[in-house]
Amino acid sequence: MSNQLSNLLRFWYTHRDNTPWVLGTVYKTEGSAYRKAGSYMLINGDGQQFGLLSGGCLEADIVLNSRKVMQFKKTSMLVYDSSDRDDITFQFGLGCGGKIYIMLQLITKENDLDLSNVFKVLQSRNTGSYYQKIGGDESYIKHEHHNQEKLSQIELINGEEWLITKILPEPHLLIFGGGVDAMPIITIAKELGWMVTLVDPRVANARREKFKIVDYILKKIDEDLILHSKKLRVDAAIIMSHSIDIDAEALLKIQNLDLKYVGLLGPYRRFTDVLKKAGLAKGSLKTTVSSPAGIDIGGQLPESIALSILSECHGMLHGKEKIISFKDQK
């Protein structure tokens, strides 16, 4: 199971009545920390944990403290200071050197911390802001439109501290081309917890028996594809059909979408051929195209190429400095 919040909540929602549950939240950090504010973990009465609040160093102690929350039915506040020789984190050898503040809140049938609604927001691929009263058991989500990921922040509301975290659905990747070299990209993307739609109009390609883990397979590059992409909030596209005609059709069609990343497989000279076939000019493209797609990390195997492309895509989706260009070659 990936650590995407939607995956954690999906499991919790299915089993929410079978055992007690606790929501663990990093609400503040000082200095270096593996996870930042707004990171979540779910712990159940069987001692199972879903998600991480550290690099694995603190989870056993967090689970132990969660049992106390279940027993005494009261929110617990934890502080782990890896710079303090007397702190448990120092004893564990946690080398980050920072301080982590964690809140453990009990989830009950009467008060599920509004997680059911958070899950519904994510299931519908909408966005919102999740409010948690620091030190209390009050939490709720407000439907709000967000486009970019932003760090969580603490705000004073009526004199009380609340952690406010943006809730965003997991990234949705659109892949044009259902050849065997698409599988490493799909495998890594699914390991990251992303949603994946695979598109290929060729009968022999993108067959369900070969691509069992993709969320959707479409066989036409048409208006239904655009409706599907808008409804399910596609964030990025990788064009890799190895066909100039199909790549051109795909590039032309996605001009109807607001994408944060578009990658095109193949050398730059091939990009110019695709543009010409599509009747497009570089300056008219709605989204900058990375061509050749990916960061130059070396390696020629499909797995290396997949890692290269998804690293570039990941950076763009998470608001890093612009790392792609048309990569014009002299």
Contact present, 101 and 108 (Cβ < 8 Å):
no
**Are 32 and 145 in a shared domain?**
yes
261-276 mean pLDDT: 95
Pairing of strands 172-176, 49-50: unpaired
| pLDDT tens readout for residues 7-53 | 999 999 999 999 999 999 999 998 877 788 999 999 999 999 999 99
- In the chain, the amino acid numbered 15 is H
**Are 204 and 313 in a shared domain?**
yes
294-304 mean pLDDT: 89
Confidence band of 108 (pLDDT split at 50, 70, 90): very high
**Are 162 and 176 in a shared domain?**
no
For residue 31, what pLDDT is reported? 84
Residue 329 lies in a domain: no
For residue 149, what pLDDT is reported? 66
- Which pair of tokens denotes residue 227? 């409706």
| pLDDT tens readout for residues 190-242 | 999 999 999 999 999 999 999 999 999 999 999 999 999 999 999 999 999 99
| pLDDT tens readout for residues 306-324 | 999 999 999 999 887 655 5
Question: For residues 291 and 239, what is the distance between their CA atoms, to the nearest angstrom?
Answer: 10
**Structural domain count of the chain:** 2
Residue 330 lies in a domain: no
Question: For residues 316 and 173, what is the distance between their CA atoms, to the nearest angstrom?
Answer: 13
The CATH number of the domain holding residue 182 is 3.40.50.720
**Are 13 and 85 in a shared domain?**
yes
| pLDDT tens readout for residues 139-187 | 999 998 876 666 799 999 999 999 999 999 999 999 999 999 999 999 9
80-105 mean pLDDT: 70
Domain span holding position 107: 5-167
Residue 278 lies in a domain: yes
Percent of the chain with pLDDT over 70: 91
Contact present, 195 and 172 (Cβ < 8 Å):
yes
Percent of the chain with pLDDT over 90: 79
Asked whether the predicted pLDDT for residue 325 surpasses 90, the reply is: no
Residue 326 lies in a domain: no
